[in-house]
A and B are shown apart, each in its own frame.
Chain A
Amino acid sequence: MKVRIDPEICQGQGRCFSIAPQIFDFDELGNGVVLGDGLLTSETIELARLAQANCPEHAVFIEDSP
Chain B
Amino acid sequence: MSDVVDESVAHKTPVQDFAADWDHTDPQWVNDPYPIWDDLRERCPVAHTERYGGGWFPTTHEMVTSIANDTEHFTSRMVVVTHNKFPPNFIPAPVGGAPPITSDPPFHSIARRVILPAFAPGPVNALEPQIRALCNKHLDEMVGREFVDGGTDYAQFIPPGVIATMLGFPSEDEEIFRDIVHLVLDLIDLPTEVRGPLFEPMGEYFAKQIDDHIEYPRDDLTSYLLNVEVGGNKLERQHVAGTMVLILVAGIDTTWSAIGSAIWHLAQHPDDLARLVNEPELMPVAVEEFLRFYAPVTMARLVAEDHEFFGSPMKKDDWVLLGFPAANRDPKVFADADKFIIDRAANRHAAFGLGIHRCVGSNLARLELRVAIEEFIKRFPRFELADRDAVTWAPGQVRGPRHLPLRILP
User: Which A residues fall within an 8 A CB radius of B?
Assistant: 11-15, 17-18, 26-30, 50, 53-58
Residues of A within 8 A of B356 (CB): 11
Give the nearest-CB partner of B113 in chain A: A29
Residues in chain A near residue B358, CB distance under 8 A: 11-13, 57
B121 close to A26 (CB less than 8 A): yes
- Cβ contacts under 8 Å, A29 to chain B: 113, 116-117, 120
Check if A53 sits within 8 Å of B345, measured CB to CB: yes
Number of interface residues of B (CB under 8 A): 23
Query: How far is B355's CA from A58's CA once the two chains are assembled, in angstroms?
Result: 11
Nearest residue (CB) in B for A30 is B120
Q: Assess whether B348 is in contact with A53, with CB atoms less than 8 Å apart.
A: yes
Q: Do A13 and B117 have beta carbons less than 8 Å apart?
A: no
Q: Is A13's CB under 8 angstroms from B362's CB?
A: yes
B35 at the interface (CB under 8 A from A): no
| Residue B239 lies at the interface, judged by CB distance under 8 Å to chain A | no
Main secondary structure on A side of the interface with B = loop
Contact A54 B120 (CB under 8 A): no
Q: Contacts A29-B113, A30-B363 given; indicate if A50 touches B345 (C-beta within 8 A).
A: yes
Q: Are A18 and B284 in contact (CB under 8 A)?
A: yes
- With A and B bound together, what is the CA distance between A27 and B358 in angstroms? 16
21 contacts between A and B (CB under 8 A): A11-B358, A13-B362, A14-B366, A15-B288, A17-B121, A18-B284, A26-B121, A27-B120, A28-B120, A29-B116, A30-B117, A30-B121, A50-B345, A53-B345, A53-B346, A53-B348, A55-B348, A56-B349, A56-B350, A56-B354, A57-B355
* A50 and B121 form a contact (CB under 8 A): no
Cα(A15)–Cα(B347), bound, Å:
10
Q: Which residue of B lies closest to A14 (CB)?
A: B363
Looking at the complex, which one of A14, A54, A55, A56 makes contact with B121 (CB distance below 8 Å)? A14
User: Which residue of chain B is the closest to A57 with respect to CB atoms?
Assistant: B354
Q: How far is the CB of A18 from chain B (nearest CB, A)?
A: 7
Distance of A29 Cα from B356 Cα, bound (Å): 13
B119 contacts partner chain A, Cβ-Cβ < 8 Å: yes
In the assembled complex, the Cα of A30 lies from the Cα of B125 at a distance in Å of 12
Does B352 belong to the interface (CB within 8 Å)? yes
User: Contacts of B350 on A, CB cut-off 8 Å?
Assistant: 56
Binary interface profile of B, 106-136, with partner A (CB < 8 Å = 1, else 0)? Answer: 0000000100110111100000000000000
> Once the chains bind, are A56 and B348 in contact (CB under 8 Å)?
yes
Q: Is A11 touching B117 in the complex (CB atoms < 8 A)?
A: no
On whether A54 and B113 interact (CB within 8 A), knowing A17-B121, A30-B119, the answer reads: no
- Enumerate B338-372 residues with CB–CB distance to A below 8 Å: 345-350, 352, 354-356, 358, 362-363, 366
- Judging by beta carbons under 8 Å apart, are A50 and B346 in contact? yes
Give CA–CA (A28, B122) in the complex, Å.
Answer: 8
Q: How far is the CB of A51 from chain B (nearest CB, A)?
A: 10
Whether the pair A13, B352 counts as a contact (CB closer than 8 A) is: yes
**What B residues does A55 contact at CB under 8 A?**
348
B347 to chain A, nearest CB (A): 6
Binary contact track B292-332/A, C-beta < 8 Å → 1, others 0: 00000000000000000000000000000000000000000
**C-alpha gap A54/B350 in the complex (Å):** 10
B116 proximity list for chain A (CB < 8 A): 12, 29-30
**Can you add 15 more A-B contacts, CB < 8 Å, to A15-B288, A28-B122, A57-B354?**
A11-B354, A11-B358, A13-B352, A26-B120, A28-B117, A29-B113, A30-B117, A30-B121, A54-B288, A54-B346, A56-B348, A56-B349, A56-B350, A56-B352, A56-B354
A50 to B288, CA, bound (A): 14
List A contacts of B346 (CB < 8 A).
50, 53-54
B357 to chain A, nearest CB (A): 9
Measured CA separation A2–B116 after assembly (Å):
28
